Amino acid sequence: MATKQRFSKGVAWMAVGNWSEQLVNFLVFMLLSRLLGAESFGLLTMAIVPVILGEGLVRETLSEYVFSARDITDSDINTVFWALAAFGALLSLILFLGGPLVASFYGIKQVQYLMWAAVPIVFTTAITAVPVALLRRQLRLRPLAIRAVAGVVSGGIVGLGLALTGFGVWALIFQRIALNLTNVVLAWRAVDWRPSLQFDPRRLRMLTSFGSHVIGMRGAEMANAQMPSIVIGATLGPASLGFYTIAWRLVEICSFLIVTPLRMAALPSFTAQRSIGNTAGELLLDILRVASFVALPAFFGLAIVSEQVVVLFGGEKWLPAAPVLSVLAFYGFFLCIAKIEEAFAFAFGHVRELAFLANAALISGTLALVALSGQKLEWMVIAYVATAYLLSPLRWWLIGRHASLSISRLMRPHFATLFGGLIMVLGLRVIDPYLLGLPAFPTLLIKAVVGIGLYAGVAMITMRRRLAMTQSYLSGLFRPAAPAAAPKTQDTPS
């Protein structure tokens, strides 16, 4: 009972922390976008992409062993720490030496200095991964929640202060540095463990075997997510990249807010099902029904109101980002569904399949972007998003094999919500002519009220059981420890 209580309390803290973090992040991002131009955000992205890739390789990769291993010793923890420290130092050195090459690739010398300033983030992230994993293992999620919020607050103060005093793109770089340093300090203060000079080469070999697939998967995922920034920056320049960055960040925040609570419940729930020998196929379908019910109208709506959102967010100077946001909104829905399916595969130990999917997405997305490089920004983004959807049947086939589900059954949870989403979009298109000439805020408000009303009406008629299930999940009635908590349900047309 104590463990269940600690878990429930921890999840509550993480939910509050994640939402608070994203709210502060959104406000800071909005203020910075009003103070700085598209070119500053484009230059930041050019410099920070290699650093983000390095971060992704040291965060929640090798340290997952500390979190997930059944029995772990001090020697194991020290081995993981020193392996990560060495890996982080090596990556930092490679990135530092690669700074001139990255600047030469974009043809902008300033990118080199911006990148050099951000490189230490990789090493500090590496040496913080073990304390974070220990906190997660002990279900001490409150310090992690506080750490996340404190990081974005401190980063926001530094970034906004520098932006107001005319530091331009450097305000964005130092914002990230301040955020990272705050995270490092608070993570180490929250744990009693300190590294010692213990190192077990035998454990290192086992750790390498454990981490190779995880690193491969995370690396491919991160590279795929950053590839549009690389190609757009190289072919269209920093201003176009800045518009893409703003649109992508808005979609990223929305998808994070929608999918994180579901993933928090899904991963331990799938693990519990695996421990008692169940395939968890019906549980996966139920969570997909909930995810689709929430995510599809949210992102369809975002695609419709993209102009109003962009104007309210950063002003009319960001209007070129609106069509990009409309396209990326469809990718946001894709991400929410894919993350639930990946949580299932991860819980059941199918990391190789995830690595294969990530590499397939990276290759196909890169080819699509390169094929349309130099074309209009929207067309490049459309090509990238289209490749993600075209690979969906392959993901469904791989997931379905292990969940004992056919591709059609994995698609079915989205039929009813797609119908509701289309009714909503149609209704919003009908009222569009009557809203011409209105300012952005009242237009957005009217569309939001009408859209939510239309979708809710369709849900009350065709998705009543799904609506009840969503309320149960979001109110905490779903408990990971109880495998039967999510009964099989059917919607009325799906």
Per-residue pLDDT tens over the stretch 193-236: 898 877 767 766 666 666 666 777 778 888 888 999 999 999 99
- Mean pLDDT is lowest, of 25-29, 65-69, 176-180, 199-203, for 65-69
pLDDT, one tens digit per residue, over 357-383 is 888 999 999 999 999 988 899 999 999
Alpha-helix runs per DSSP H in 391-482: 392-403, 407-411, 415-431, 440-462, 464-474
- At 67, list the tokens: 């979190």
Cβ neighbours for 430, distance < 8 A, ≥ 6 positions apart? none
Is 404 buried (19+), middle (13-18) or exposed (0-12) by CB count in 10 A? exposed
What is the C-alpha end-to-end distance of the chain, expressed in Å?
38
Instruction: Give residues with Cβ within 8 angstroms of 339, minimum separation 6.
Output: 255, 259, 263
Helices 281-304 and 440-462: crossing angle in degrees, nearest 10, is 150
The per-residue pLDDT for 466 is 84
Is 250's pLDDT higher than 80? yes
Per-residue pLDDT at 264: 64
State mean pLDDT over 154-159: 95
Token pair recorded at residue 167:
């530091």
- In angstroms, the CA 274 to CA 354 distance is 18
The alpha-helical segments, DSSP class H, found in 276-318 are: 281-304, 306-314
pLDDT of residue 474: 59
Q: How many CB atoms lie within 10 A of CB 359?
A: 17
**Residue 140, exposed/middle/buried by CB under 10 A (0-12, 13-18, 19+)?**
middle
Alpha-helix runs per DSSP H in 59-73: 64-68
pLDDT, position 203:
67
Helix axes 281-304, 464-474, angle to 10 degrees: 100
Q: What is the pLDDT of residues 448-485, one digit of tens each?
A: 999 999 999 999 998 888 888 777 765 654 444 443 33
pLDDT tens-digit series, residues 287-340 = 899 889 999 999 999 999 999 999 998 889 999 999 999 999 999 999 999 988
Model's pTM, two decimal places? 0.83
Which of helix, strand or coil describes residue 494? coil
Alpha-carbon distance 364 to 157, whole Å? 40
CA 57 to chain centre: 15
